[in-house]
Structure 1
Amino acid sequence: MTSERTAATVTEPVRDDIDARPGSTASLLRTVVGVFLRPLGGWVSAADLVTLAGDLGIDAAPARTGVARLKQKGLLLPEREGQIGYRLNPAAVGMLERGDRRIFEMREMTDADPWCLVSFSIPESARSVRHQLRRRLQWIGAGVVSPALWICPGHLQDEVQQILDELDARQWATLFQASAPTPAGTLIEAAAQWWDLAALRGEHLAFQTSLASLPAEPFAAYVQLIDRWRVLPYTDPGLPPSMLPSDWPGRRSFDEFARLSAQLAAPAWAHVRSRTGGSARAD
């Protein structure tokens, strides 16, 4: 690899594909790349990637189109190592590591944990930035106290700051660390106003129902399991039990995901090694 290619690899921007619908070609391929490529050494041949896509029921032509989308997003960089292939953009590693923590580790707040308040006033001349900020705050699980005041768990403050920096919106926003809110009504009533808990409940129940339709083959089952689950740890902020109904389904969703993930990981990795000829190990 030439020094010119090295420079391009390091500086290529990365855009997270948050709009990819779980189960779509783009989403499944992103899940494959996010889960397997780092332990494989960060590089995979184009042929092996298309083969793995085929093992998920994706034909070669749409698989290549999906890979092209990952290239456009900056997640993959074309690189030849004896044959045509793709290297994971080093700039994406931090994003994927944050995703790992969200996906594989359930974070549930306690009443003693701090909150992060995000107050912003963005001029009409930058309304596209305002739209993107609201969209991305919602994506990480922030709630809406008012149109210009959002709330999220305190441990997400670094992610909020990163979003503001990426949107060049830091000049219009102020962050506050806060203790437990004291709304006029109950905390459960406030949470239902600030977050769409009915929609979140529906997503959890749909995920739990979908587990009955996982494929029998471990690799396909593992990829689909992660692909179906990966959005929920972002949109569900992990509110403390005091702010949730007693029958909240979030814990059961995570427990089912963790159980099946542990069961499927090793045989899925064995399949990937057999397809790629690599020596990657399951973590």
Structure 2
Amino acid sequence: MTSIEEQADNSADGERVNRRPRSLIVSFFGTYARDVGGWIGVADLIALMGGLDVDAPSVRSSVSRLKLRGLLASERIGGAAGYRLSEEGRRILAQGDRRIFGHRVAEIRDGWVLVVFSVPESERRRRHALRAQLTRLGFGTTTAGVWIAPAHMTDQARSTLRDLGMDGYVELFHATHLDFSDLTEAVATWWDLPALQSMYQEFLDEHEPVLGAWRRGRGADGPERRATAFADHLRAVDAWRRMPYLDPGLPPELLPEQWAGSRAARVFFDLHALLRGPGLEHVREATGPAGPR
């Protein structure tokens, strides 16, 4: 699963609040829909999203936009209107699964990948798109036209740049830092570490208390508890899934002390382990049999 709505919506940051229902629906398709056959009726989706305070008009608007972007396909089963992931949607989510749930932390000895590019002034829009995509992949900037990330990002960068038709403008290099700057200080200039720290702290402020409540035994087992698990889990996935795209897994020894990212990762994966099972049970109970998939 990935930040699929980045491909579905290139709107300004000011629309972030308006995009939240769509973001939750993308997270739902990535987290649950594929495990219940890949198709869900509109009525069932509205009911499930109602548990996260998303109203019916927002659900209908969101799925319509995702369909227009080619990420969902409409399909009727047994007379019921519904949606399933398109082939492109499945591809994007599968690619994102590896980044989000296989979040990798780099080691200094692994080295770095450098992306060096030169885009003619006459193609400024391509240059902007290239920079935007490298940012989404978690690359930092060393200087104009030279971007850097841990070496484990090489294959994803190569694949993404080819998919975008940008491979004719870039060169990739594997690099080892030798001299002369202190690498910790350099990393602090290549990435906006305070912004990343703030991002992780916001996640912790919202979701660490939720984890604590579940560890203390949140509610008696039953449909209501499973519905709560679904809502808490989907909110956590939706908040977390962008973060591995902004932080490429920098080596811990190069990061500030008390780095919130390490704790945030533990909280997310503990919530995922605790809640995905009962959350999936809730989705299966809510959707029920809907004919062949």
> Shared fold (TM-score greater than 0.5)?
yes
Which residue does the alignment assign to 2:165? 168
User: Which residue pairs with 2:224 in the alignment?
Assistant: none
Aligned residue for 1:138? 135
The answer to which of 220-229 and 66-75 deviates more is 66-75
Which residue of structure 1 aligns with residue 251 of structure 2?
240
Deviation at 1:261, TM superposition (A): 1.3
C-alpha distance after superposition, 1:48-83 (max 9, x if no partner): 112211121111111101111211222211112222
* Distance (Å, rounded) in 2 between the aligned partners of 1:265 and 1:45: 21
Aligned to 1:184: 180
Question: Is 1:129 matched up with 2:126?
Answer: yes
The sequence identity of aligned pairs, in percent, is 40
Deviations 1:199-245 (A, max 9, x none): 00111111100115759711110110111111111101111123212
Q: Which amino acid aligns with 2:63?
A: V
Deviations 1:77-108 (CA, angstroms, capped at 9, x unpaired): 11122221112112222321222222223311
**Residue 98 in structure 1 maps to residue 109 in structure 2:** no
Greater Cα offset, 158-167 or 113-122? 158-167
Partner-residue secondary structure (3-state), 2:168 = helix
**Residue of structure 2 equivalent to 1:58:** 54
Aligned length: 265
Query: Counterparts of 1:175 and 1:207 in 2: how far apart (Å)?
Result: 33
Distance in structure 2 (CA, Å) of the matches to 1:102 and 1:278: 32
CA–CA separation in structure 1 for the residues paired with 2:271 and 2:77: 35
Aligned mates of 2:155, 2:108 — CA distance in 1: 20
Per the TM alignment, residue 46 of structure 1 is displaced from its structure 2 partner at its CA by 1.6
Cα distance in 2, alignment partners of residues 49 and 229 from structure 1: 22
| Corresponding residue of 2:229 | 218
Pairing 1:193–2:197 present: no
Q: CA deviation at 1:274?
A: 0.6
CA distance in 2, matches of 1:130, 1:26: 28
Residue identity in the other structure for 2:122: S
Question: Which residue of 63, 84, 87 corresponds with 1:87?
Answer: 84
Whether 1:159 and 2:156 are equivalent positions in the alignment is yes
**8 A Cα contact 2:204 2:264, kept in partner:** yes
Cα–Cα, structure 1 residues 183 and 236, in superposed 2: closer, same or farther, change >3 Å? farther
The question of 1:15 aligning with 2:12 is answered: no
Cα distance in 2, alignment partners of residues 205 and 18 from structure 1: 26
Q: 1:183 to 1:74 in 2, by over 3 A?
A: farther
Letter in 2 for 1:277: G
Instruction: Compute the displacement of 1:278 (Å).
Output: 4.7
Q: Residue 69 of structure 1: which of 65, 69, 90 is its match?
A: 65
CA distance in 2, matches of 1:18, 1:230: 18
- Contact 1:79/1:87 (8 A) holds in 2: yes
User: 1:273 is matched by which residue type in structure 2?
Assistant: R
Bigger Cα displacement from structure 2, 23-32 vs 200-209: 23-32
When residues 237 and 72 of structure 1 are mapped into structure 2, their CA distance, relative to the original with a 3 A threshold, is same
Whichever residue aligns with residue 170 of structure 2, its letter is A
Aligned-partner residue type, residue 265 of structure 1: R
Q: What's the C-alpha RMSD, in Å, of the aligned pairs?
A: 2.2
- Which structure 1 segments of 5+ residues have no match? 1-13
Q: Offset of 1:176 from its aligned partner?
A: 0.8
Alpha-carbon distance in 2 for matches of 1:85, 1:247: 46
1:249 aligns with 2:260: yes
Query: Is this contact kept in 1: 2:8–2:66, CA < 8 A?
Result: no
**Structure with the larger RCO, 1 or 2 (CA within 8 Å, 6+ apart):** 2
Matches of 2:62 and 2:97, distance apart in 1: 22
For the 8 Å contact 2:208–2:267, the answer to whether it is kept is: no
Contact between 1:15 and 1:75, CA under 8 Å: does it hold in 2? no
Note the C-alpha offset of 1:16: 5.5
| Matched residue, 2:223 | none
Contact 1:187 1:242 in 2 (8 A): no
Measured at CA, do residues 278 and 238 of structure 1 come closer, stay the same or move farther in structure 2, by a change above 3 Å? farther
CA contact (8 A) 1:133 1:163 kept: no
TM-score normalised per structure 1: 0.87
